[in-house]
Amino acid sequence: MRFATKAIHKGSEADETGSVVSPIYAVSTFKQPGIGSDQKFKYSRGANPTRNSFEECLASLENAKYGLAFSSGVAAEMAALSILKSGDELVTTAHMYGGTYRILRDILVNYNIGAKYVYSTDAQAFEKAITKKTKLIWLETPTNPTLKIIDIKAVSDIAKRKKIPVVVDNTFASPYFQKPLSLGADVVVHSTTKYISGHSDIIGGAAVTNNKRLFQRIKSYQGAAGAIASPFDSFLALRGLKTLEVRMKKHESNALQAVEFLSNNKNVSEIFYPGLKGHPGYETAKKQMNGFGGMVSFRIRGGEAKVKKFVSSLKLLSFAESLGGIESLAAAPYFMISHSSLSEKERAAIGITKDLIRLSIGLEDIQDIIEDLDLALG
């Protein structure tokens, strides 16, 4: 099966009723025939038919054998990070979602798990950061919010030689544009809140893998910690997957045209989009992705005052957290929840300055999006 066909049919095979849509099993527990039953469904924290349908479908789109759905993206990240133990260390890109940084700084440190941050996108920089304590490499590409590109295969090749698993946050690309497992990564995580569900109506996360040992460890954590995706959220995320291909094509098409507009606007000083030939990661993105996505960031001339004017002048785009929905959103990462926990020095080190705007380009008519940006940039 090809991508769109898998997205529509995997996990949604008709049951005994003939339903062509996987039902919502709003149930906590399941009747068992007797002691020692080996039935799959016993208690919904361990497994639920609706959640399993979503997990199966998402795993198939990432070319994975195993999928696990969680109540949020950071819950999925915590589950993936649970393969570490006290005294371990991970090597990670410094250019990451602020919520991931909060996990490393505020939670894992309490368990004596350290993190080494790599500020370069060069694979050799990751290799140099590895020590005897390193038990995991964590990548995010494209990165949030400056859309840096890391060569997944190059880093994974290094990690494999050293027998270190690699986790990739694939939220910005989605499995339509990028498949990290096929490039050598061991685990892929998503905030399914974003492009996977695609409609800004759930909070969710997922982890997928082909490694049975890692799957069993993450699955064990899922059952013990209990941060599972609910049946209703799983149903909505599975529904979102069915249109992922057509949505991602439109997101990218609109983003490319928005970038062209921004490139010719005198109030824009710098644009971050991996589809630009001048982007430092353009060649790597072309190699490991089959599209450049719907996320665009840029800097406004005039600093903080101009940013505030831009935000207040938007009519169509909403100024909001999150991304990946059908509607276009604008964010100012320096001032928002996503990266507000970083100090000013930490934000500056990864390019998150007061003049930075991040756009999640939606599915509206592109001329309406451009007209709103033009008005706001004034």
What is the DSSP secondary structure assignment for residue 334, as one 8-state letter? G
Torsions phi, psi for 121 (to 5 deg): -95, 0
Q: Are the beta carbons of 256 and 279 closer than 8 angstroms?
A: no
Q: Please, which residues bridge with residue 268 across strands?
A: 300
Active-site residue flag, 374: no
Q: What is the 3-state secondary structure (H, E, C) of 222-261?
A: HHHHCCECCHHHHHHHHHHHCCHHHHHHHHHHHHHHHHHH
Tokens of 311: 């935000």
Q: Are the beta carbons of 137 and 126 closer than 8 angstroms?
A: yes
User: Residue type at 165?
Assistant: P
The catalytic position among 45, 102, 249, 286 is 45
The catalytic position among 97, 221, 273, 334 is 97
Active-site residue flag, 355: no
Helix, strand, coil in percent for the chain, rounding step 5: 40, 15, 45
The catalytic position among 148, 194, 250, 358 is 194
Active-site residue flag, 85: no
Tokens of 249: 């094509």
Start-end of H helices in 203-343? 212-225, 231-241, 244-263, 282-288, 303-313
- Among 323, 349, 317, CA closest to 336: 323
CA distance 207 to 189: 4
The catalytic position among 25, 66, 101, 169 is 169
Q: Are the beta carbons of 85 and 114 closer than 8 angstroms?
A: no
Report CA 306 to chain centroid distance, whole Å: 29
- Among 167, 118, 160, 121, CA closest to 142: 121
Active-site residue flag, 45: yes
Which residue bears the tokens 């569900």? Answer: 197
| Half-sphere exposure at residue 195, Cβ-oriented, CA atoms within 13 angstroms | 29
> Active-site residue numbers?
45, 97, 169, 194
